[in-house]
Amino acid sequence: MNKELSKTYTPQAFEDKWYSYWLEQKFFHADSGSEKEPYTIVIPPPNVTGVLHMGHMLNNTIQDILVRRARMQGKNACWVPGTDHASIATEAKVVQMLRERGIKKSDLSRDEFLSYAWEWKEKYGGIILDQLKKLGASCDWDRTRFTLEPSLSEAVIDVFIDLHKKGLIYRGLRMVNWDPQGKTAVSDEEVIHKEVNSKLYYIKYFLADDTGQFITIATTRPETILADVAICVNPNDERFKHLVGKKALVPFIKREIPVIADEYVDMEFGTGCLKVTPAHDVNDYALGQKYKLPVIDILTEEGFLNEHAEDTRYIGKDRFAVRKQIAIDLEEAGHILKVEEYKNQIGTSERTGAVIEPRLSLQWWVDMKKFMERNPQVLDAVMNDEIQFHPAKMKNTYRHWIENIKDWCISRQLWWGQRIPAWYDNEGNLVAVAKTARQAIEIANGQGLKAKGQKPEDLHQDEDVLDTWFSSWLWPISVFDGFKDKDNADIKYFYPTQDLVTAPEILFFWVARMIMAGYEFRGEKPFSNVYYTGIVRDKQRRKMSKSLGNSPDPLDLIEKFGADGVRMGMLICSPAGNDILFDESMVEQGRNFANKIWNAYRLINGWEVKPDSAFNDDILKANAISIDWFKGRFNAILIETEDKFKDYRLSEALMSIYKLIWDDYCAWYLEMIKPVYGEPIDESTYKQTVIFFEELMKVLHPFMPFITEEIWQNMAERKQGESICIEKYPEIKLVSDLPTPDLSRVFESIQQIRNLRNAKGLSPKESFEIFIKANSENLYKPYMFLIQKLANVSAITFVKEKVEHAILLPVDIDEIYVVLNLQMDAGAEKEKITKEIEYLDGFLKSVDAKLGNEKFMANAKPELVEKERQKQADALQKILALKGSLGSL
RNA sequence: GGAGGCAUAGCUCAGCUGGUUCAGAGCAUCUGCCUUACAAGCAGAGGGUCCGCGGUUCGAACCCGUGUGCCUCCA
C-alpha cells in the first residue's frame, strides 16, 4: 500500500503484464472433468486471413464480458477460439502471393498449390487471434481450432457422406451464382445485390421471312443476344399475337429463333417482348425447360465469350467489353431503336466483388426442404424461445428465411477446402460417395451397380471442395470432437453451449445452419441464446471498410486509450441489435472513466489510517451512516445489473455500474467520508471503503479487465495464482437485511444550496448558515454533518415558522431558508417564486380534475387514487410556503 | 416487387401489462471554478408539438388505423 502512483491512468504500463499472467496461470482453461456448471461460448471463427477490425472488437468484447462474468460467478467458463479456413478469401490470398513470386496457379498441381496454401496459413494465418489477446479476450487458447485441420475436416467429410446416405445431399445441373473472378459457384447468401445505373437497349430483330418486319426487345445485357434461343411474348398481348409461331433472326449471327408465347412475360416492361437466353438467366432457364429450348452457353468460367458466341469479333473477349462493343456495332448496323437510362439490381460476389453470372452447372446441393421436414425444431425452437434471440425481433427474419428456404449449393470450384468425397469412373459417371476410392468401389459392388470390376486407381475424386460454411455449421459440435466420438467427455459436458454472439448479417450463413446441424446430428440445440451485435459504422452511418478508409485500426486505439477504454467506449452505447456509430470520443469516454477510477484509487491509497480509538464518536457514527448508505446503493445496482444481464442489455448494465462508481462512490460516498486535508481516516471506515472498492472492481471486471486487475492486485498483498478474474462475483443481499438511511432529502438540500451558490456567484469556500423547516426533522437531524460538509454550511437551525428576509429553497415538501448578507434582487426573486406558484397551480388543477372525475375514481386502482390525493396535499403545502415567502420579500 | 423493423433532447438510446400538469440517461452544449484524487476534473444550468393526422379511453410517447420519412433482409 501507499505506493507512488502515476497521476494519470497509463494502461500501457500494465495491460500486457496482466494478460501474460492470466495465460501463465491458465485461468482461462476449462476442463470437462469439473463438478462446476459449464458455461460455454464458441467464437464465431474469424477468417484465417483476417485482421482485427472494429466489428471483431465489439463482438469479442461482448463475448469476453459474458465469459468473464460467468467465470467469476463460479461457472466453468469455456470460450473456444479458432479460425475459419475461408476457402475463397484464402485461395485468393495465396494466388496473389504466388503471383508476386511469379508463379501461376494454373501451372501448379493441386497438391503443389495446397502446400503453398498451408505454408501461407502457417506464416500469416491467425494473426487475428494474437490481436484478440490485446483486447483481453479470455479464450481457452489450448482449445484453438481451425476449420480445415485434419480432425475437423474428417468431421466435414463424414457429415457429407452421412447426409448423402440420408438422401439429403444430391448432385444436379442447376443454375448457380457464378463468380467469374473466383471461378467458383457461390451460394445465394453470398450474393450481394446492388443497385446500379445501367442502360436499357431496344434492339430490333428482323423476322426470318424477309418481309422487313421486325420485333423489338429491351435488354440491359446486349452481349447475351448471341445466346438467344427464342423471343417470348405474352399470349394476351394483342400487339404481338400475329407474330407467335414465326421465326426471328438474331442480329449478326442470323440464327433463326422461334417466337413463343407465355404468361410469364410482363406486357408492361420494355417492349413486351422478351429475349430468351436460358444459359444466362434464371427465369429464362425455366422458360427454356418448359418449351424444350436449347441452351447456348456463350461464356467461359472467367466471364469471356466462347466459340458458341459464333461472331469472331467477340469471341475471347470479356463480357463487359463485349457489351460496349456490341452496342456500338448494333447501332452501326441499324439494330438499335433507342437506349434508355435504367436502374437495376445486379448481384455481386460477397468475396471478390465480381458481378455474378447466372450459370448452368453441375453442383452438389443440400435438399433443404427435406432437411426441414426432418427437423421441424429448427424453426420451432426459435419461435418458442427455447433458443432465445436478442433482440427478439430477429425471430421474424429467421422465420421468413426458414419458411422460404432454398437448396444450399455446397460445392465450390476451388482447391483450398475439404474435397468432396465423391468418386467417378473414366466416363465421368458417379460411382459412389465414400471416403476412399476403395470404399467407393465396395459400396458400388454392394449395390450391384457399377460392378464392372473397376479398381480404386481407375476412379477419380470430385475436383471440387465444399463451401466453407459447410464446415462452420458444425463448429459448436466439431470443436469438441463430437463427430469423431459422439460421447466424449468434452461434448457431453460443454454441449449445448450457452451463448452465441454474432453479427446479424450471418444469421442465415451460419446461425440458422448451426441450429440445423445441432438438431440433425445431436438432436439438440447448439446454444440457448444468440446475441446479435450491431454493425460498426462511422458517424455518417457508413459501414466501416478498408476501401473507404474510415475504419480506425483497433490496435492503434488500444495503444492510445488502453484496451479497457476501447472496450468500455464501444459498449456503453451499443444495445443488442443496434448499429454503433463509432467515434473516437466514445473511446475517450472509456479512457476518462478508467482515469477516474485510477484517481479514486490514488485518493484512498494516499490516506493515513489510524485506529478508531483516535477518533471521537461523532466521526465514527457519521461515517457509519455513509457506509450504510453506500451498501444500500451497491446492492440496488447489483440487483439492477443482474436484471439487465438476464435480458442481455449489456450496455445498460455497464451504464448502471458506471454511474455507481462515478456518481455514488466517487462523487458522493468518497466526499462523505473523506477526511479534511492532512487528517487521517479511522481504520474501520478505511477498511470498508477498500472493501467497497474491491467489490466495485469485481463488478466492473468483465467490462474492463485490465485496470480492475491492476488495482485489485495493488490493494493488498496478493499471492501467486490469485487474480480478480477468478474472484467471486459480489452477491445480491436481501434488501431487508441492510440498514438503509434515507438521504434523499439531504442530497436534495445539498444540491439546492450548491445551486444557490452558483446562481448568486458565491464561492464554495464561503460558508453560511441555513434554517430548515421540515415536516419530519428525522430526515435531516441525524445527517446534518453531511449537509455541513458537502454544502459548506456553518450552522443548521430547525425552525417551525418561515424565516423573514431569507431566500427559500424548496426541498420536496420541506423548506430551507438561507439568510445572505447580500443585496437581494427582490424583483427577480419574486418573479421566480411567482412562476413556481403558477406551475404548481396548474399541476394542482390537473390533479383536482382527476379526483373530481367520476370515471377516474371508478376505474383507477385505489393506490393510484391515494397517490393523487398525496400529490394534491403536497402541492397545496408548497403553494402555501411559496406564498408566505413572497409576502416576506 | 415481397417481408420485417424503426421514428422520443444536438447525438446515441431508456421508457416494463396505458395512470406524476407532454418524459429520462450518457455524451455533447452553456455558465462558474486549476476547491491539494482526478481540468481525462468539480459544481450547476439549459435543451423535447415523444414524425404528421384520425380513433379507442376518464386518461395515450405507449393501443388501433392512416400518411410520411429512414433502415435491414429477400427476389
Say how far A858 CA is from B56 C1', in Å. Answer: 19
The model's pTM is 0.90
Q: Which residue is nearest to nucleotide B12 (CA to C1')?
A: A573
Q: Which residue is nearest to nucleotide B18 (CA to C1')?
A: A860
Asked if the Cβ of residue A758 lies within 7 A of any atom of strand B, the reply is yes
Strand B bases near protein CB (under 7 Å) are: 2-6, 11-14, 19-21, 25-28, 31-33, 35-45, 57-59, 71-75
Say how far A552 CA is from B14 C1', in Å. Answer: 29
Say how far A466 CA is from B75 C1', in Å. Answer: 26
In chain A, which residues from 6 to 65 place their CB closer than 7 Å to nucleic acid strand B? Answer: 7-9
In chain A, which residues from 798 to 857 place their CB closer than 7 Å to nucleic acid strand B? Answer: 839, 842-843, 845-846, 850, 853, 855-856
Residue A242: CB atoms within 10 Å: 10
Asked if the Cβ of residue A736 lies within 7 A of any atom of strand B, the reply is no
Query: Are the C-beta atoms of residues A747 and A741 closer than 8 Å to each other?
Result: no
Tell me how far apart the alpha carbons of residues A433 and A286 are, in angstroms, rounded to a whole number.
Answer: 29
Per-residue CA distances from A552 to A44, A555, A566, A587 (Å) = 22, 9, 12, 12
Query: Are the C-beta atoms of residues A174 and A295 closer than 8 Å to each other?
Result: no
Backbone φ, ψ for residue A475 (5° rounding): -45, -50
Say how far A813 CA is from B31 C1', in Å. Answer: 29
Say how far A91 CA is from B33 C1', in Å. Answer: 62
Backbone φ, ψ for residue A22 (5° rounding): -60, -40
In chain A, which residues from 326 to 385 place their CB closer than 7 Å to nucleic acid strand B? Answer: 345
Closest-approach nucleotide to residue A604, Cα vs C1':
B37
Closest-approach nucleotide to residue A605, Cα vs C1':
B37
Asked if the Cβ of residue A286 lies within 7 A of any atom of strand B, the reply is no
Q: pLDDT value at position A822?
A: 62
Tell me how far apart the alpha carbons of residues A469 and A511 are, in angstroms, rounded to a whole number.
Answer: 10
Asked if the Cβ of residue A860 lies within 7 A of any atom of strand B, the reply is yes
Closest-approach nucleotide to residue A345, Cα vs C1':
B75
- Cell 472488437, residue located: A57
Asked if the Cβ of residue A754 lies within 7 A of any atom of strand B, the reply is yes
Closest-approach nucleotide to residue A347, Cα vs C1':
B75
Tell me how far apart the alpha carbons of residues A189 and A169 are, in angstroms, rounded to a whole number.
Answer: 18
C-alpha cell at A264: 410469364
Query: Would you give the DSSP letter of residue A520?
Result: I
Asked if the Cβ of residue A409 lies within 7 A of any atom of strand B, the reply is no
Tell me how far apart the alpha carbons of residues A707 and A693 are, in angstroms, rounded to a whole number.
Answer: 12
**Which segments within A350-468 are labelled E, that is strand?**
357-366, 388-390, 408-409, 411-412, 422-424, 430-433, 460-461, 465-466
Asked if the Cβ of residue A751 lies within 7 A of any atom of strand B, the reply is yes
Say how far A751 CA is from B44 C1', in Å. Answer: 9
Asked if the Cβ of residue A504 lies within 7 A of any atom of strand B, the reply is yes
Q: pLDDT value at position A467?
A: 93
C-alpha cell at A403: 419458411
Q: Are strands A580-581 and A536-537 parallel, antiparallel or unpaired?
A: parallel
In chain A, which residues from 103 to 162 place their CB closer than 7 Å to nucleic acid strand B? Answer: none
Tell me how far apart the alpha carbons of residues A574 and A587 are, in angstroms, rounded to a whole number.
Answer: 13
Q: pLDDT value at position A347?
A: 84
Among candidate residues A684, A713, A724, the one with its CA nearest the CA of residue A3: A713
Please provide the DSSP assignment of A738-765 as one string: S-----HHHHHHHHHHHHHHHHHT--TT
Asked if the Cβ of residue A269 lies within 7 A of any atom of strand B, the reply is no
What ipTM was predicted for this assembly? 0.95
Task: List per-block mean pLDDT (blocks of 10 residues) for chain A, which spans 889 residues.
Answer: 74 96 97 94 92 89 97 97 91 90 93 95 89 96 96 97 96 87 80 79 88 87 91 87 89 91 80 88 84 90 90 91 92 88 79 85 91 92 90 85 88 94 91 92 76 76 94 97 96 96 88 95 95 83 73 91 94 80 89 96 94 92 94 94 91 94 95 92 96 97 97 95 97 87 90 87 84 90 91 91 84 86 68 79 81 80 81 84 77
Closest-approach nucleotide to residue A9, Cα vs C1':
B40
Query: Are the C-beta atoms of residues A669 and A653 closer than 8 Å to each other?
Result: no
C-alpha cell at A369: 426442404
Say how far A780 CA is from B45 C1', in Å. Answer: 26
In chain A, how long is the greatest CA-to-CA distance?
119
Say how far A153 CA is from B51 C1', in Å. Answer: 54
Q: pLDDT value at position A3?
A: 59
Asked if the Cβ of residue A193 lies within 7 A of any atom of strand B, the reply is yes
Q: pLDDT value at position A825?
A: 66
Query: Are the C-beta atoms of residues A501 and A574 closer than 8 Å to each other?
Result: no
Tell me how far apart the alpha carbons of residues A176 and A164 are, in angstroms, rounded to a whole number.
Answer: 20
Of all helices (H) and strands (E), which one includes residue A336?
Answer: strand A336-349
Q: pLDDT value at position A66?
A: 96
Q: pLDDT value at position A1?
A: 44
